[in-house]
Amino acid sequence: MAGGNPKHFNLQDDPFELFLLGEGEKKIEEKVFSGMSNTSDFVLMKEDHTLVAHPNVPELFIRVQTDGTITPRDVFTSVCEKLINQLEMLHQEFTREWELRRITNTGEQGNMQNGH
């Protein structure tokens, strides 16, 4: 990136740098909180401005602290898997409702053309 804070995106830089991972760059980085093995910070790189604290810093920061019976990484992974499953269910329900609406609208238009 050209000049300034290396974490800030500059409009003069390559715009794809904002969302495409560079060579050797990881999407998610875990940083175990110093002195607390039950706490980790997860940084999700190259995220959209709607998720991050500042539009010029494309990183999402999530801190996970547990009671120690499960690791922060296991909790983070489990929550991500559950979220993906819920989004898939939402997608299926939305698609079904969209198709039902389309069929209903098609039927109503056909009835209007037939004079009903």
Q: Does pTM top 0.85 for this prediction?
A: no
| Digit-coded pLDDT (tens) for 11-59 | 566 666 767 888 888 999 999 988 888 999 998 888 776 666 776 777 8
Domain around 23: 1-65
- In the chain, alpha helices (H): 72-113
Q: Are residues 1 and 23 in the same domain?
A: yes
Burial 49-79 (b: 16+ CB within 10 A, else e): eeebeeeeebebeeebebeeeebbeeebeee
| Digit-coded pLDDT (tens) for 58-104 | 788 889 999 999 999 999 999 999 999 999 999 999 999 999 999 99
Q: Domains in the chain: how many in total?
A: 2
Q: Are residues 61 and 27 in the same domain?
A: yes
Amino acid (one-letter) located at 46: K
Q: Are residues 50 and 6 in the same domain?
A: yes
CATH number of domain containing 49: 3.30.1360.10
Q: Are residues 43 and 100 in the same domain?
A: no
Q: Are residues 52 and 5 in the same domain?
A: yes
